[in-house]
Amino acid sequence: METVTVRYFAGARAAAGRSEETVSAGRTLDGVLSELAERHGERLVPVLTVASFLVDGVTCHDRDKLLPAGVTIDVLPPFAGG
């Protein structure tokens, strides 16, 4: 099975209960996020609604574009500090 790697940072890591996982490839970012919301439920959903997403290190602006196998999605919640 071809997969996409999802990496969680900061509060997203705490909400997902892990730092990384894989999902099947060939879906959009929104499709992947729906699966993650189903997997992790009410703890992760609020984080996903405010997070930024990098696909292979580049900010993802087109959440309807199909993601090929092998890419890495970084889930970055808002960071505080200065």
- pLDDT by residue (tens digit) across 21-60? 999 999 999 999 999 999 998 899 999 999 999 999 999 9
| Rounded mean pLDDT, 5-11 | 96
- Helix H or strand E encompassing 46: helix 45-50
- What are the structure tokens assigned to 32, written together? 């992947």
Q: Which residues contact 19 (CB under 8 A, 6 or more apart)?
A: 7, 8, 13
Q: Are 74 and 53 in contact (CB under 8 A)?
A: yes
- What are the structure tokens assigned to 25, written together? 């490839």
Residue 76, beta-bridge partner list? 52
Q: Is the pLDDT of residue 82 over 60?
A: no
Q: Are 19 and 13 in contact (CB under 8 A)?
A: yes
Rounded to two decimals, the pTM is: 0.92
